[in-house]
Amino acid sequence: MSANIKYVSTNNAPSPAGPYSQAVVTNGFVYVSGQIPLDPETRKIVSEDIREQTIQTLKNLGKVLEAAGCSYQNLIKTTVYIKDMNDFDVMNKAYGEVIGDARPARACVEVARLPLDVKIEVDAIASLNA
């Protein structure tokens, strides 16, 4: 591992399902891997409901950010992947409720399929200097 790279790991968010880190910190930035709506303890999908899936996904993202030494306020960019763009309004409202007054840049993309057939996945970039 390079001296300029720190791999983030926390039991408060689902562990990676493959050869990757929950997040990587380098040069003052935190790159968070895609988070999905798994309960970190049971590793089961929290619900089939897009609202509940969005809330859990963002809670997992928040726990990874916390383990990296920051919070939603440090977010500078998120990408939301949703299975059905018809869920956008519900997802968007829940997203706003969870991240509060943080306003990172964001993209939202409809995708054909996500891991474990969940309805949402979110990855992010945050700044430790924000």
Active site residues: 108
Other CB atoms within a 10 A radius of the CB of residue 13 amount to 24
Nearest-CA neighbor of 55 among 112, 1, 118, 113?
118
> What ranges in 34-83 are assigned the alpha helix state H?
50-68
CA dihedral 33, 37, 38, 44 (to 10 degrees): -140
Token pair belonging to 105:
């840049």
3-state secondary structure of 105: strand
Q: Are 21 and 106 within 8 A, CB to CB?
A: no
